[in-house]
């Protein structure tokens, strides 16, 4: 009887959908609910999926979507790259130096709750109009998850690991490359996974404020023209980009952190 129960349980587990299919089912359910409400309500402010898709195709054909998305992603990735470099450096420094930890951790803890978007007018005064204040704001917002994630990961390096590295003659750089960074890599990639959607949110919000290019501008232009399908077309594109970045980072984690391949992301 026990064997029969175990066999049935195993069969049910094997028949259940995989994680990728479950994610797609969740998205499909959300879209089905949206379509049902849009069709039954008939409200102009809630266009159907076909109307949103038609608008996305139109924006692609006219070249507007490619033009504005290229600008948005260029600025967003520039800010994210700065956050990765500076954040990882701060995290490793805090993890390996008591003085740096004592000095920087209170600063990060005190400034983390501050909405960096409130600093955008000040950044415009400092850097002027253009790309610089946007890139700086993205870098500031993404800095915290990168720094804290790297700090937590680098703190996981034990004294025995460092002692072993010193005993085999490893210098500071080799210890950093072969011991500290591999130990911190899972947490660093987790921080990157948290920073990626923040990057998109911040850059789009800044483009909605007095800008004439970018996806944020497209969204505001459609809103000003009372085109809900145009607004939701941009929202749909941002959703696809966010999902694609998340899956890309998850794939990168499985490739780089090969010792944790059994973990589902």
Whether residue 83 is contained in a domain is answered as yes
Q: Is the pTM of this model over 0.85?
A: no
Question: What is the domain count for the chain?
Answer: 1
pLDDT at 139: 95
Look at residue 67 in the predicted model and tell me its pLDDT. Answer: 94
Q: Indicate the range of 33-42, 191-200, 230-239, 240-249 predicted with least confidence.
A: 33-42
pLDDT in tens, 86-133: 999 999 899 888 888 899 888 988 888 888 888 888 998 888 888 899
On average, the pLDDT of the chain sits at 84
Residue 17 in this model has a pLDDT that exceeds 60: no
Query: Residue 175 pLDDT > 70, yes or no?
Result: yes
Q: Does 233 reside within a domain? A: yes
Long-range pairs for 19-25: beta carbons < 8 A, 24 or more residues apart: 19/264
Residue 137 lies in a domain: yes
- Range(s) of the domain holding residue 193: 53-260
Please tell me the least confidently modeled range out of 32-41, 151-160, 166-175.
166-175
CATH for 69: 1.10.3720.10
More confident of the two residues 4 and 158: 158
Question: What is the mean pLDDT of the segment spanning 204-214?
Answer: 87
pLDDT band for 8, please (50, 70, 90 cuts). very low
Residue with more model confidence, 82 or 260: 82
Does the pLDDT of residue 10 top 60, yes or no? Answer: no
For residue 262, the model assigns a pLDDT of: 53
**36 in a structural domain:** no
83 falls in which pLDDT band (50, 70, 90)?
A: very high
Q: Examine residue 236 and state whether it is found in any structural domain, yes or no.
A: yes
Question: What pLDDT was estimated at residue 19?
Answer: 66
Q: What pLDDT shows up at residue 261?
A: 58
On the question of pLDDT at 208 being above 70, the answer is: yes
Query: Is the residue at 67 inside a domain?
Result: yes
2 within a domain of the structure (yes/no): no
* 45 in any annotated domain: no
């Amino acid at each position: 009887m026990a064997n029969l129960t175990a066999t049935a349980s195993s069969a049910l587990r094997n028949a259940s959908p995989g994680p990728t299919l479950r994610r797609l089912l969740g998205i499909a359910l959300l879209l089905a609910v949206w379509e049902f409400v849009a069709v039954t309500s008939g409200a102009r402010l809630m266009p159907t999926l076909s109307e949103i898709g038609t608008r996305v195709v139109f924006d692609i054909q006219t070249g507007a979507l490619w033009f504005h998305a290229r600008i948005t992603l260029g600025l967003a990735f520039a800010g994210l790259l700065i956050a990765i470099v500076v954040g990882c450096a701060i995290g490793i420094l805090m993890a390996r130096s008591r003085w740096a930890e004592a000095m920087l951790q209170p600063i990060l803890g005190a400034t983390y709750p501050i909405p960096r978007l409130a600093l955008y007018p000040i950044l415009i005064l400092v850097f002027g109009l253009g790309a610089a204040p946007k890139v700086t704001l993205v870098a500031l917002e993404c800095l915290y998850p990168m720094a804290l994630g790297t700090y937590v990961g680098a703190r996981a390096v034990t004294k025995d690991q460092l002692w072993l590295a010193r005993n085999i003659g490893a210098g500071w750089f080799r210890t950093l490359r072969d011991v500290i960074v591999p130990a911190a890599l899972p947490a660093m990639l987790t921080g990157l996974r948290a920073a990626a959607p923040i990057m998109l949110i911040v850059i789009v919000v800044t483009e909605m404020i007095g800008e004439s290019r970018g996806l944020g501008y497209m969204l505001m232009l459609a809103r000003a023209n009372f085109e809900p399908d145009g607004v939701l077309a941009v929202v749909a594109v941002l959703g696809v980009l966010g999902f694609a970045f998340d899956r890309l980072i998850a794939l990168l984690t499985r490739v780089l952190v090969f010792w944790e391949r059994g973990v589902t992301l």
